[in-house]
Amino acid sequence: EPEVTQTPSHQVTQMGQEVILRCVPISNHLYFYWYRQILGQKVEFLVSFYNNEISEKSEIFDDQFSVERPDGSNFTLKIRSTKLEDSAMYFCASSVERQRSRYFGAGTRLSVL
Amino acid sequence: QKEVEQNSGPLSVPEGAIASLNCTYSDRGSQSFFWYRQYSGKSPELIMSIYSNGDKEDGRFTAQLNKASQYVSLLIRDSQPSDSATYLCAVTSKTSYDKVIFGPGTSLSVIP
């Protein structure tokens, strides 16, 4: 069964450093998303991406964040200068259509020290 | 008013019983509704989606949607210990299909 894959599974970084989280969405899906979940809190929408551009972003997704689809398969989330409060699980998801089900990857646990 | 509300639980049911999970949402124009299961430390796993009023059944799971009451529920029949997890209700924003808003989740414990 097709699945969303994310790498790395765990990323440890120092405050102020840049991190790139990687995702390979399901191959026939056209819509891509990043969500995050701080420990013990709910899953929060960060950004959606379609046709090589951001289609929607939340207030969390400020100038420190960016997304890119550098080739035909990968979808990345970059955090330019990490803060302690960026520590969370980051989930990539994809869907066939924007109103349809999102399928989630296993997530990347980001720990900012 | 919170966008998507769920009872946090924990909800405890005996093995073999029916578990009933409820969710209310505030955006009257929301169009798509999803139930996810999340085991501790894992990612959300889609159980089912529902888009129109009424019931939708898939195996032991039944989703019920009532847009007039802004209410969506999930019934789990013949509950198993492996169903013990947090169940997340998610709803598309009325202003954007791109933005799916998650509720805080209901923790379910199925007692053998």
State the SS3 of chain B.
CCCEEECCCCEEEECCCCEEEEEEECCCCCCCEEEEEECCCCCCEEEEEECCCEEEEECCEEEEEECCCCEEEEEECCCCHHHCEEEEEEEECCCCCCCEEECCCEEEEEEC
In the prediction, which pLDDT does B1 show? 60
CB spacing of B99 vs A106 below 8 angstroms:
no
In the prediction, which pLDDT does A72 show? 79
How far A88 CA lies from chain B's nearest CA (Å)?
11
- Cα separation, B4 vs B89, in Å, equals 8
Residues B43-100: tens digit of each pLDDT? 999 999 999 999 999 999 999 999 999 999 999 999 999 999 999 999 998 777 788 9
CB pairs under 8 A between A and B: 58
How far B21 CA lies from chain A's nearest CA (Å)?
17
Residues A69-112: tens digit of each pLDDT? 988 789 999 999 999 999 999 999 999 988 889 999 999 999 99
CB spacing of B105 vs A42 below 8 angstroms:
yes
Candidates A21, A31, A42, A94: best to mutate against B (most CBs of B within 10 A) is A42
- CB proximity A9 to B under 8 Å: no
CB spacing of B97 vs A42 below 8 angstroms:
no
In the prediction, which pLDDT does A73 show? 87
Residue in chain A nearest B34 by alpha carbon: A101
